[in-house]
């Protein structure tokens, strides 16, 4: 199994925060997980609320656990709320089925990790996740074609 490495994770997290500041978003928290779900990086801007780390990790964990991006997870959660309630119970509350969680794919289209960003709207969080992944010269998978 290939994984996002520490250097890539740091680039992703730092760039995501930089993008948020450039766009004047609210303070952000970024979590980068490797393909096994282990945290590679966590950056939390000043003035983030106390739940932001858990939300960012939940976004990253959800996409990694399901194998598709946050936008697809959100669509499926809307269509199958009972299923996603069950998933949330089975995962001990780790599922956060919204945009802002983005899979990281390598040049061979293999999933090598995920990113979760939170602090602003889910759409804005996703913009920052994608910017970070692209800066690391990897491919973001938001769940949209």
Dihedral sign, Cα of residue 70, residue 49, residue 39, residue 126: positive
pTM for the model stands at 0.94
pLDDT, one tens digit per residue, over 54-97 is 999 999 999 999 999 999 999 999 999 899 889 888 888 888 88
6-141: which CATH topology? Beta-Lactamase (3.30.450)
**How does pLDDT run across 12-61, given as a tens digit for each residue?**
999 999 999 999 999 999 999 999 999 999 999 999 999 999 999 999 99
Contact (Cβ atoms closer than 8 angstroms) between residue 73 and residue 79: no
Domain assignments of the chain as residue spans, ordered by start: 6-141
């Amino acid at each position: 199994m290939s994984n996002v490495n520490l250097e890539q994770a740091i680039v992703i997290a730092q760039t995501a925060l930089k993008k948020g500041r450039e766009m004047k978003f609210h303070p952000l928290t970024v979590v980068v997980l490797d393909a096994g779900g282990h945290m590679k990086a966590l950056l939390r801007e000043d003035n983030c609320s106390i739940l932001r780390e858990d939300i960012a990790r939940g976004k990253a964990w959800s996409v990694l656990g399901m194998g598709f991006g946050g936008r697809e997870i959100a669509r499926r959660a809307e269509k199958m709320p009972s299923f996603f309630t069950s998933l949330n119970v089975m995962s001990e509350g780790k599922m956060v089925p919204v945009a802002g969680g983005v899979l990281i794919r390598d040049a061979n289209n293999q999933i090598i990790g995920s990113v979760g960003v939170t602090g602003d709207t889910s759409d804005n969080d996703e913009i920052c996740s994608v910017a970070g992944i692209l800066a690391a010269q990897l491919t973001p998978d938001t769940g949209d074609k």
